[in-house]
Amino acid sequence: MPILLTVVSTALGLAPFLSDGPEEVFWFDFAAGTIGGLLFSLIALVLFLPVFAVKRKESRETSLRA
């Protein structure tokens, strides 16, 4: 939950820089790149975190049996 809140607040905080358009070259590119990276990392987090969590749970059970 804290990761989701951080991504959303950062993306919303940078959104006004997108409204200026490409006239403000640095801020537009910075905002677009940061928002894109955060959204991509959020997708990766949603897809890969459960995979690693399940794998870790299984390895704990096998180590407890030994």
Q: Is the pTM of this model over 0.85?
A: no
Residue 43 has what pLDDT? 86
Q: Is the pLDDT of residue 66 over 60?
A: no
| Backbone torsions φ then ψ of 24, nearest 5 degrees | -90, 90
Residue 55 identity (one-letter amino acid): K
What token pair was written down for 22?
Answer: 């490409």
Count of domains observed in the chain: 1
At 1 the three-state DSSP class reads coil
- Cβ contact 28:18 at 8 Å: yes
pLDDT digits (tens, 9 = 90+) for 7-62: 999 999 999 998 878 888 899 999 999 999 999 988 888 888 788 777 555 555 66
Which residue range(s) make up the domain with 36? 2-65
